[in-house]
Amino acid sequence: MMLRAEIFSRRAGQLIKERLFMSDWHSDEELAVLAKDSMEAEGILLSRYLRLIQYYAFHYASGADADDLVQEGLIALLYAIPQYSPEKGTKFSSFAQVCIQNRMKNVLLKNQKNPEPVENLEEYQSADFIDEVTPESILLEKEQEILFRKQVMEMLSDKEWQVLGLIVEGATYAETARKLGISEKSVDNAMQRIRRKMRSVPHGESSTE
């Protein structure tokens, strides 16, 4: 409980301030840079890319497998944000798509399932989805994202938060187990619990489309 309380107290004041001043019309590249120190910028990127992640997930799999891939896609996006370097001249959307697809493919290959290739990937840049979004819907998605984060924060144990944090940073199950002094099986069990808990949290209308 102490870890979650510290995380929340450290971010609460910053989040309230950022909600008043953060522009919804920053480019993805600008948001990716801001998101390294801003939970609000990170939340906007998550909202922008959620439908893209869902598109890939439901083209690679179906049913419960697709739901799992959505969670894996979100983890991949969270990993892509701190790794992105605009100085290299690569669009964030291109970098994020590679990270998301690679993680989904690796998960399916690990489970011995062959992913079907997604056609016309270049047609599904984040801007294609943003064009259909109104300021009102963006505000609603932001509120839903904040609520989602709060609910997840309350549901995960301190150990689950530690596991998720290391995995999002790019650590393998073996590295996570070694750093936390637990077994790889315990890491896997923690990730399974995290996925179940995250799936149980309502995501708003975008998750039911």
pLDDT tens, residue by residue, 164-201: 777 766 678 889 999 999 999 999 898 888 777 766 65
Share of the chain above pLDDT 90, in %: 7
pLDDT value at position 157? 86
* 27 has pLDDT over 60: yes
* 204 has pLDDT over 50: no
pLDDT value at position 12? 40
pLDDT value at position 186? 94
What would be the CATH architecture of the domain defined by 156-204?
Orthogonal Bundle (1.10)
The highest-confidence range among 22-26, 92-96, 199-203, 204-208, by mean pLDDT, is 92-96
- State pLDDT tens for residues 42-54: 777 877 888 888 8
Task: Write down the domain spans for the chain.
Answer: 24-155, 156-204
pLDDT value at position 23? 47
* 83 has pLDDT over 50: yes
* 3-class secondary structure per residue, the chain: CHHHHHHHHHHHHHHHHHHHHCCCCCCHHHHHHHCCCCHHHHHHHHHHHHHHHHHHHHHHCCHHHHHHHHHHHHHHHHHHHHHCCHHHCCCHHHHHHHHHHHHHHHHHHHCCCCCCCCCCHHHHCHHHHHCCCCHHHHHHHHHHHHHHHHHHHHHCCHHHHHHHHHHHCCCCHHHHHHHHCCCHHHHHHHHHHHHHHHHHCCCCHHHCC
**Which is more confidently placed, 40 or 187?**
187
pTM value is: 0.51
Of the listed ranges 8-17, 86-95, 176-185, 187-196, the one predicted with least confidence: 8-17
Annotation: CATH topology of 24-155: Rna Polymerase Sigma Factor; Chain: A (1.10.1740)
